[in-house]
Structure 1
């Protein structure tokens, strides 16, 4: 597999300096970041971003649909990569392999960005963050990119979606396989993540206000079928995160 690497001498030295103790001294860390930023500016600002294996599109005429988030056409997005923000980057997000794909604006080659270096990215109006599984309920169950649909990952209450596309066999059709989207929802509350789907599992994530939330869901006519599930989960979590209504006298 072809691995395309841009000149990384200065960033490599900077990372070495931080590992050697610069990270412990705020002034030195700031100086290292400044030097690295000037280096990136001198090389067009994107030298650090474009490194990694070449991405080979595995979609073919025997599959129906595509593996990407929203669109199979490159769309400008923003990437937080190794501590640096890169705006207006042509991006694709492969949901089947859970990898972010970028293209150098001066080359037709597509690169698979190193996932461990991608802290977050914004694409099609959504913000994704990379979270690492620890085996504890305080982290999501699987390492990967999660769509933040309510709150922030550091907030006491937030909602994440793990979006995937699975290749499934199709019987009785000309194509052999089809990409099927799968969304899994996680509500963070009470200091841990809860896998949720229907109304009962969402309410179970908020044991201290179930009666109030049940009433809110009824008055707002919240539905938890496939089409309305995400919106309803977000509304319930957002309502819970807001100040509790005052008790009637």
Structure 2
């Protein structure tokens, strides 16, 4: 079984495996077609490996024990193909998960059951299933916004960010204990490089400087904050952004 201690060894062994395969192929009596096929396979694998190798620089992710109530992952606990910007390099079609409990991106290791958690300080952004996330660091130049991973729900002169996270708690029932995962979200409106925490439509309208027009628009279209917070906040921010242009 792979471990984080031998992960680097696995990556180092890959080139030697390729060399051994090549030497083996030429050490046997093969026809020109077989030789060309082997060389073509090696060439394709080398190119694929070279383009993806740095992405596998992370730590082993052991996952979670069976029996959890709720899921620590955003949207799905199954790997979804997405894109990642890691160490300044963009990778596409990467099978990944967003772990809200650990606040980390987990990827599949070379089509194996083994999974890797990407290093936080090397991650810039990632996208999957129509959702785009960015890593906000202390050098982002934004006031009142903590470091972490945020989804960009809307981006213009105003921005709407969502901090999606999970908390775990142990619940005792009789003589059994179960771990419950609860997902949460915090919304922030970014205006003039300052982040404002939002917990109601009224607060959002005040932040964007509504004179009553947006409030009337929400009422006319029957948008309810309690029913769909993200939709209502997106409507408020995008409406204000559009009438300001």
Report the TM-score when normalising by structure 1.
0.74
Q: Which runs of 5+ in 2 are unaligned?
A: 13-45
Is the helix fraction higher in 1 or 2?
2
Q: Does the residue aligned with 1:69 lie in a helix, a strand or coil?
A: coil
Deviation for aligned residue 1:75:
1.3
Deviation for aligned residue 1:144:
1.4
**2-structure distance, mates of 1:191, 1:139:** 6
Deviation for aligned residue 1:82:
1.2
**Contact 2:169–2:181 (Cα < 8 Å) also in 1:** yes
**2-structure distance, mates of 1:214, 1:120:** 33
Q: Which has the larger radius of gyration?
A: 2
Alignment correspondent of 1:118: 123
Alignment correspondent of 2:159: 158
Deviation for aligned residue 1:169:
3.5
* Aligned with residue 49 of structure 2, among 38, 43, 46: 43
Alignment correspondent of 2:96: 91
**1-structure distance, mates of 2:65, 2:72:** 8
Alignment correspondent of 2:218: 217
What's the RMSD between the two structures over aligned residues? 2.4
Q: Does the residue aligned with 2:182 lie in a helix, a strand or coil?
A: strand
Q: Which runs of 5+ in 1 are unaligned?
A: 8-39
**Contact 2:170–2:179 (Cα < 8 Å) also in 1:** yes
1:103 partnered with 2:108:
yes
**1-structure distance, mates of 2:140, 2:48:** 42
- Count of residues paired in the alignment: 206
Residues 60-93 of structure 1: per-residue CA shift (max 9 Å, x gap): 32x2122111111111111111111111111011
**2-structure distance, mates of 1:135, 1:116:** 13
1:73–1:196 distance in 2 versus 1, CA, 3 Å: same
Matches within 5 A, 1:124-203: 124-133=129-138, 138-139=142-143, 141-151=145-155, 155-170=156-171, 172=173, 176-203=178-205
Matches within 5 A, 1:11-90: 41=47, 43-61=49-67, 63-90=68-95
**2-structure distance, mates of 1:196, 1:64:** 28
1:233 partnered with 2:238:
no
**2-structure distance, mates of 1:100, 1:76:** 12
**2-structure distance, mates of 1:210, 1:52:** 50
